[in-house]
Amino acid sequence: MNRRDFLGSSAILGFGLANVSSWSNAKAQTTSEMDKREIAKLRISSQMGVAPGDSEEKKLANMKKFGCEAVEYHGGVVGQGAKYKKMADDAGLEVSVICWGSHGGDLCKGDPKKIDNLKVDLKKALETAGELKARGVIYVPAFAHETKMTNQEIRQLCLDFLPEMGEFAKQCNTHVILEPLCRMEAFFLRQVADGASICRDCGGVDSGVSVMGDFYHMYTEETSDMGAFISAGDYLQHVHLAGGTQQPSRTLPGQNPRTFVDGFRGLKYIGYNGFCSFECGCQGDRIVEFPKSIQFLYDQWEQA
Amino acid sequence: MNRRDFLGSSAILGFGLANVSSWSNAKAQTTSEMDKREIAKLRISSQMGVAPGDSEEKKLANMKKFGCEAVEYHGGVVGQGAKYKKMADDAGLEVSVICWGSHGGDLCKGDPKKIDNLKVDLKKALETAGELKARGVIYVPAFAHETKMTNQEIRQLCLDFLPEMGEFAKQCNTHVILEPLCRMEAFFLRQVADGASICRDCGGVDSGVSVMGDFYHMYTEETSDMGAFISAGDYLQHVHLAGGTQQPSRTLPGQNPRTFVDGFRGLKYIGYNGFCSFECGCQGDRIVEFPKSIQFLYDQWEQA
């Protein structure tokens, strides 16, 4: 069957030629893949606890000094957007995200009042993220010990709950960011592709609901970091940097054998230029090891 | 930090240089990616019901005539390996797999006797697959209506049950092949990456436990066919070909708007040269539509 025959049969079958046209454009995507590699960029961020320094100001100054472009704040900054925005501004840093959490797993307790309280507090966090010009608020539906609900039940709760939160996030120019975790921490959402499928079912890439990947959890749960990030695609709004479960576990990248090349290749494939942020421990002197890890990551990016 | 410094620090940290060396080889993988694209091949198979013809012999003859390299048999062939091997041989076809099923979901009933019966029957199917020189036996732990167990419970049952089945499959030179299905059919295993993670946890690519992807189910469950197949990697032993849920649903590829280019790009990336097998309905005259669909698939492969 040649292309003309196929166009004929497709018209008879009554589906839009727009689709056929997108198929014929597929080869051109090879060029767009190169374009995506061009726009992809390793932009490093760090949680406060990982950076060297004995005060918040010194930690921020060291992040900037050693090549970070952003800081990842904890949930304690909610309601203090102006103060923490200024602190980041003064250090010459952007704010990547607020690492918020599960609100005690309140979505998955079977108590509508708990969900109402969760909504109020998550909206406050999203408002602060908006003030900070952050990419989003990291949200976990429930840690393993916080719920007895099945995966089916929790997924449905997510589809009922997240679209409203995503809509509110959009009004704040930010995102709700789902974090897949290893099975021990949250069996419900273990893989990046599964998080992406929740985003899609919540309304797609414009829903304000997005996903992240954490290299520590991915080491346990993913068979391919690259496959996982390609499945995340445009739903990906954040990445956590940490070594895997090899000893020393969950430490600075480069301090254990976990490779980042395959994952970075995936980030390049999808044209990711959001932030990759340290959430990990450190073996040894932070003032030595922190910049060493950043150099290691740039080497891995180069190889990807 | 230069490479020498890093080698020094890694030696101090006490992890193997073999790992460091594999990192530095990462760039060379770009070449091996091209090698994998070279060895990847679209090799089409078909279930008997999909092919045109009013007898098994005529269906097999038409498969061969229109470019199929293999037939996918149903579970009814178990115990009749010699007969069905000869039938395929006579038509000049290989046998891709036996499409077997869930054995009534007996793994997930909470009854050890049912599991014992399942073991006996799955081993018989694997023996027949060996006689047929097939890539494997497609196995579903349980369809949605067959079990009330949680995902956690079913996953543990898989890890308890599958390694022995995989070991037996290896003795027969074949595989147990897990089939991820859409949520309506089997919520437990919906995504290809999740199936691959079960294979890994069962002992890895040499365990005899493998995974497949079905383009119909993937349309509902995957955000990226390419990401899914890259996550499957060397665990992938089979692919089912069918259109998505667009109308007409689950029909011959090319008869509805579902694209195969992104998925085929993933198959090329991992160097897949196993079989892709029709499991779908047909709109119109099979003798016209079956070869048209094969040509459509070759066009999609070319674009990938």
- Residue B194, pLDDT score: 98
Phi/psi of residue A94, nearest 5 degrees:
-85, 175
Q: Give the separation between CA A141 and CA A199, rounded to whole angstroms.
A: 13
B1 and A296 within 8 Å at the Cβ level: the answer is yes
Please write the tens of the pLDDT for every residue from B173-196: 999 999 999 999 999 999 999 999
The 8-class DSSP code of residue B249 comes to T
Is residue B56 pLDDT above 60, yes or no?
A: yes
Residues of B with CB below 8 A from A16's CB?
Answer: 257
Return the SS3 of B128: helix
Say which range, A137-146, B2-11, B243-252, has the weakest mean pLDDT: B2-11
Residues of B in contact with A191 (CB under 8 A): 191, 193-194, 197
A292 touches chain B (CB under 8 A): yes
**Residue A70 pLDDT level (bands cut at 50, 70, 90):** very high
Q: What is the pLDDT of residue B167?
A: 98
Taking residues A292-304, what's their average pLDDT? 98
> Would you tell me how many other CB atoms lie within 10 Å of the CB of residue B156?
12
Question: Using 50, 70 and 90 to split pLDDT, how confident is the model at B245?
Answer: very high
pLDDT score, position B7: 32
Secondary-structure percent of chain B, ordered helix, strand, coil, rounded to 5: 55, 15, 35
pLDDT band for A31, please (50, 70, 90 cuts): low
Q: Does B300 touch chain A (CB under 8 A)?
A: yes
Instruction: Output the pLDDT for position A107.
Output: 98
- Identify the residue with better confidence: B30 or B137: B137
Q: From CA B126, how far away is CA B135, in angstroms rounded?
A: 10
Is the confidence at residue A15, as pLDDT, over 70?
Answer: no
Check residue B34 and give its pLDDT. 82
The candidate with the shortest Cα–Cα distance to B96, out of B1, B230, B4, B212, is B212
Asked if pLDDT for residue B101 goes beyond 90, the answer is: yes
CB of A225 within 8 Å of a chain B CB? The answer is no
pLDDT the model gives residue A22:
36
State whether residue A233 sits within 8 Å of chain B by CB: yes
Q: Which residue, A220, A234, A219, is CA-closest to A267?
A: A234
Whether pLDDT at B3 is above 70: no
pLDDT band at B112 (very low <50, low <70, confident <90, very high): very high
**Which residues of chain A does B151 touch, with a Cβ-Cβ cutoff of 8 Å?**
150-151, 187
Nearest residue on chain A to B200, alpha-carbon basis:
A223
Q: What is the torsional sign of CA A215, A219, A222, A226?
A: positive
Q: Which residue has the higher pLDDT, B18 or A236?
A: A236
Instruction: Read off the pLDDT of residues B205-228 as tens digits, 9 standing for 90 and up.
Output: 999 999 999 999 999 999 999 999
CA distance B77 to chain A (A): 33
Q: Which pLDDT band holds residue A20 (cuts at 50, 70, 90)?
A: very low
Which of A268, A276, A158 lies closest to A215, judged by CA?
A276
Among B5, B223, B283, select the one facing A193 at the smallest CB separation. Answer: B223
Q: Is the pLDDT of residue B172 over 70?
A: yes
pLDDT for B288 equals 98
The ipTM estimated for the assembled molecules is 0.90
DSSP state of B172: T
Confirm or reject contact between B16 and chain A (CB < 8 A): yes
For chain B, what is the mean pLDDT?
91
- Inform me whether the pLDDT recorded for A4 exceeds 60: no
Section A271-297 average pLDDT: 98
Report pLDDT digits (tens) over B252-277: 999 999 999 999 999 999 999 999 99
**Residues ≥6 apart with Cβ < 8 Å to B302:** none
Condensed to tens digits (0 to 9), the pLDDT of residues A182-192 reads 999 999 999 99
DSSP chain A: --HHHHHHHHHHHT--HHHHHHHHTGGGHHHHHHHHHHH---EEEEETTTSS-SSHHHHHHHHHHTT--EEEEEGGGTT-HHHHHHHHHHHT-EEEEEEEE-GGGGGGSS-HHHHHHHHHHHHHHHHHHHHTT-SEEEE-S--GGG----HHHHHHHHHHHHHHHHHHHHHTT--EEE----TTT-TTS--HHHHHHHHHHTTSTTSSEEEEEEHHHHHHH-S-HHHHHHHHGGGEEEEEE---SSSSTTBSTTSSS---HHHHHHHHHTT--SEEEE-SB-SS-HHHHHHHHHHHHHHHHHH-
Name the DSSP class of B71: E
B237 min Cα distance to partner chain A (Å): 15
Summarize pLDDT for A124-134 with one digit per residue, the tens: 999 999 999 99
> Letter for the amino acid at A214?
D
Q: Residues B140-161: pLDDT tens digits?
A: 999 999 999 999 999 999 999 9
Tell me what pLDDT residue B229 has: 98
pLDDT at B25 exceeding the cut of 90: no
Residue A34 has a pLDDT of: 82
Percent of chain B with pLDDT over 70: 90
Question: Under an 8 A CB cutoff, do B292 and A233 touch?
Answer: no
Section A168-180 average pLDDT: 98
Q: Are strands B43-47 and B275-278 parallel, antiparallel or unpaired?
A: parallel
